[in-house]
Amino acid sequence: MNKFFAHLVLMRPANIITAIADILLGFAAAGAVQQIQRASATAYGYLEHPLAVDLGWLIAATIGLYGGGVVFNDVLDADLDKIERPERPIPSGAATKTSATILGALLLLGGILAAFKVSQISGVIAAVIAGLALLYDAWGKHQGFIGPINMGACRGGNLLLGMSAIPASLEHYWFLALIPIVYIANITVISRGEVHGGSRPILRFAVALYLLVFVSIVALTFLPHFSIITALPFGLLFAYLIFPPLLKALNTLQPKEIRLAVKAGVLSLIILDATLAAGFAHWVYGLLVLLLFPLSRFLAKQFAVT
């Protein structure tokens, strides 16, 4: 592979699309979508509204944060990848540790600066996400219990970053970050069997955690601005995409099936975000988030997801 493509591989473009979906969900949960709709009916066009501009900066921020985080993951895993995944850009020689380090640093810094363009709170959240990502890359992924929570916290922080478009919403809906924390922590646990095979007790626990995510979505019905009716169709699609691969992996315990279960879990984060976004904003907005899914799947065929 050429050098440019190799560095794109390091950034995992398909996964970055899922991070953008987190921002769109947080934006909807904060009530920003409704504010733009009300204002656009009077004085502003959709793209001219200040919150729409903030959304653009937050999307740029998450691209930098996620891209930088996964690049550093490969930098710090380079020696291990020589043995387990020699096809990756650094061990294959398509990229160097130095070039990858520079790319990762620029992406993280750019992500933080983009977030500060929205507000100081957004910038602080972005800096915390960057710190959590580096902590996971260097230490967290080697820890049995803390590692998955560390990774989940990065995603939870990303949701809060989207909500920071309206800072007051963080006080009321901060607990929504717990859903992606549990979901991503679960995928992280599953992924530990990608190379050497899975553990049946761990995969059974993973099934239970997926069910917990669904219970949490239903529980949001008690919130005044969440509609389970508009969220339900998206939720059913979500279940259809994540459970069959995981159940197949549970049956075989084979690395290939586990990798497919992880891939389904990562890409289906968009469906989870669309489910919640539809509940908070409208099914049309949920459909807009859902449109990121085919884009992510297309990129997943061109670039590695794990």
Tens of pLDDT, residue by residue over 139-187, are 999 888 898 899 999 999 999 999 999 999 999 999 999 999 999 999 9
The amino acid at residue 6 is A
Which residues have C-beta within 8 Å of that of residue 52, sequence separation ≥ 6? 36, 46
Q: Please give the average per-residue pLDDT across 41-65, as a whole number.
A: 86
Tokens for 158?
Answer: 């990303």
CA–CA gap between residue 245 and residue 234 (Å, rounded): 18
Whether the per-residue pLDDT at 210 is higher than 70: the answer is yes
CA–CA gap between residue 206 and residue 247 (Å, rounded): 10
CA–CA gap between residue 79 and residue 85 (Å, rounded): 10
**Residues 33 and 285 sit within 8 Å (Cβ to Cβ):** yes
Q: How far is CA 56 from CA 62, 97, 217, 270, in A?
A: 10, 31, 27, 18
Whether the per-residue pLDDT at 84 is higher than 90: the answer is no
**Residues 97 and 75 sit within 8 Å (Cβ to Cβ):** yes
Tokens for 162?
Answer: 């989207």
The amino acid at residue 53 is V
- CATH number of the domain that 267 lies in? 1.10.357.140
Total domains in the chain come to: 1
Backbone angles phi, psi at 163, to 5 degrees: -70, -25
Write out the residue range of the structural domain in which residue 282 sits: 3-302
CA–CA gap between residue 13 and residue 305 (Å, rounded): 8
Which pLDDT band, with edges at 50, 70 and 90, does 41 fall under?
low
**Residues 7 and 74 sit within 8 Å (Cβ to Cβ):** no
Which pLDDT band, with edges at 50, 70 and 90, does 34 fall under?
confident
